[in-house]
Amino acid sequence: MKKPDVVIVGAGSAGCVTARRCAELGLKTLLLDRKPMEEIGQKVCGDEVSKAHFEATGIDYPEGDEISSVIGGADVYPPNMKNELKIRGWAEFDGWTVNRLSFGQRLLREAISAGAHFIPNVHVGGPMMIGDQVTGIEYKDLMSKDIEIVKSKVVVDASGFAAVIRNKLENPLIEKNIAKEDIALCYREILSLKMPLAEPEVARVFLGGEIAPKGYAWIFPKGVQEINAGVGITGGEGRGSPKSYFKRFKEQYPLLFGAKLIEGKGGAVPVRRPLKSLVGDGIAFVGDSALQVNPIHGGGIGAGMRAGVILGEVVRGAIAMRDISANGLWSYNTRYFPFFGQRLASLEIFRRFLQAVSDDDMNFGFERRLLEAEDLMAANRGDGLSLSTVDKLKRVKRGAGRISLLMKLQKAAGLMKKLSKLYSNYPNSPDKLDSWEKSVLDIIESANFE
Ligand SMILES: Cc1cc2nc3c(=O)[nH]c(=O)nc-3n(C[C@H](O)[C@H](O)[C@H](O)COP(=O)(O)OP(=O)(O)OC[C@H]3O[C@@H](n4cnc5c(N)ncnc54)[C@H](O)[C@@H]3O)c2cc1C
């Protein structure tokens, strides 16, 4: 393709959805990935995605061989494995464990059918620049070893955690370094169980410092006798690898005894609020490269798909208005942050709260039901933790003896509300970003629950 309007680096879920939307809107769209075409979609992941993301974007639900399991609930276990929280009957929890490869292949097909041109087997090395303006990319053809340059009006970095373009940009609008404690290192296995699952529509999540320090272990059904199970931990070095935690978990949890390994691999996912700005001059970020991931559970498929649809529309508008600077692309920020972005950001506070709760307090909290399923749902929905006065009194009674835990919960609820408000007033131009960011960082810094 000669002189595309937009080049999208990475054909993961976020890149494919962005490419599809750009092409649908008539843009000359080039999508690149270092993988061969038949491997697009393959990814170390928990493979869970909720229905709500499809409803929000108009993307067709997974069907046929894209579905490994239909999910309708979850059991959340505290460290002592007693008094688990059973989440059932919440529509927003409905979803699927998908076959990542089939699902990814479908998203790619949809992008190509909409008119995007796809080139596999190319390693994108970095951006082409004129001053601060990104004007294209440079890539190496992994088959011929040739180096190519592609010029475009807008570049989209959808390269996932690698963020191959973002990491090469020097611009105060663009964040480069992500703190270790905001990254979850994961290890997951696909396992065939000795016995069928009793509830193949229920996901299981396990909390606690012994199982997964500042993270969690999961068992997600993939059919009646196959599972996707793993461990994600955050906080940087000195704790052992996620693989070693998973090994221990596997030796201790009876369901996994004697399970046959189909595949095991490690991966990483950011678990922070999204980048302060999703755009720069001639450049936009989507998916994991934009840190568009739910900080509580590390789910990023839906968050990236939602952003991709908006981004396609914004790129089209910016090109039509002949303003592809950060200013011209800014409405991606103002359309994402006050809504879905706000939800992700406030969950960073909740993540910080959960990470600071000791195993003992966590066990107590589950026993006394200091957090109910509806609290988790409301927090995830972006409604914060709305502890009403009546509710507070009831919880104070149930939480007698651990007032400090309740106070921390109350503090988290307050900070989540404050941060949400700030995000709903996201600045309408780049020049106001600094003071807004300062207010965000003040709240994040005070989200210390140790
Ligand atoms: C262990 C684990 C479990 C998870 N579980 C879930 C879950 O259950 N549900 C959920 O919603 N999310 C989950 N996530 C997160 C989810 O996988 C990501 O948020 C999501 O896949 C991000 O999509 P993306 O398109 O941004 O990036 P990716 O899917 O990573 O796609 C990026 C693409 O860019 C390509 N690329 C990278 N660098 C280059 C380069 N230099 N040149 C060319 N191409 C390049 C890659 O080949 C890849 O195809 C999990 C993550 C991990 C690690």
Cα 437 to Cα 333: distance, rounded to the nearest angstrom: 13
Sign of CA dihedral 301, 302, 303, 306: positive
Percent of the chain with pLDDT over 90: 86
Q: What pLDDT is stored for residue 386 in this prediction?
A: 66
Determine the distance separating the centroid of ligand 1 and the alpha carbon of 195, expressed in angstroms.
31
Ligand 1 atom closest to the CA of 159, numbered from 1: 34
Level-2 CATH architecture, domain 6-47+100-176+275-329: 3-Layer(bba) Sandwich (3.50)
Q: Per-residue pLDDT averaged across 12-17, rounded?
A: 98
183-192 sheet: strands from edge to edge: 85-88, 73-77, 202-206, 216-221, 226-233, 183-192, 260-270
Model confidence at 237: pLDDT above 60: no
Q: Per-residue pLDDT averaged across 270-297, rounded?
A: 97
Q: Per-residue pLDDT averaged across 29-35, rounded?
A: 98
pLDDT in tens, 179-219: 999 999 999 999 999 999 999 999 999 999 999 999 999 99
Q: What pLDDT is stored for residue 82 in this prediction?
A: 95
Q: Per-residue pLDDT averaged across 84-93, rounded?
A: 88
Determine the distance separating the centroid of ligand 1 and the alpha carbon of 14, expressed in angstroms.
8
Three-state SS letters, 327-351: HHHCHHHHHHHHHHHHHHHHHHHHH
Q: What pLDDT is stored for residue 387 in this prediction?
A: 65
Q: Which residues line ligand 1 (CB under 6 A)?
A: 9-15, 32-35, 43-49, 122-124, 158-160, 162, 164, 186, 188, 230, 267-269, 287-288, 293, 298-302, 304
Task: Give me the CATH topology for the region 66-98+180-270.
Answer: D-Amino Acid Oxidase; Chain A, domain 2 (3.30.9)
Q: Which of 99, 159, 293 to mutate to test the pocket of ligand 1 (most atoms within 8 A of CB)?
A: 159
Q: What is the mean pLDDT of the chain?
A: 94
Q: Which of 43, 161, 168, 241 to mutate to test the pocket of ligand 1 (most atoms within 8 A of CB)?
A: 43
User: Where are the CATH 3.50.50.60 domain residues in the chain?
Assistant: 6-47+100-176+275-329
Q: Per-residue pLDDT averaged across 224-238, rounded?
A: 87
User: Where are the CATH 3.30.9.10 domain residues in the chain?
Assistant: 66-98+180-270
Amino acid at 127: P
More confident call, 438 vs 409: 438
Model confidence at 327: pLDDT above 60: yes
Amino acid at 369: R
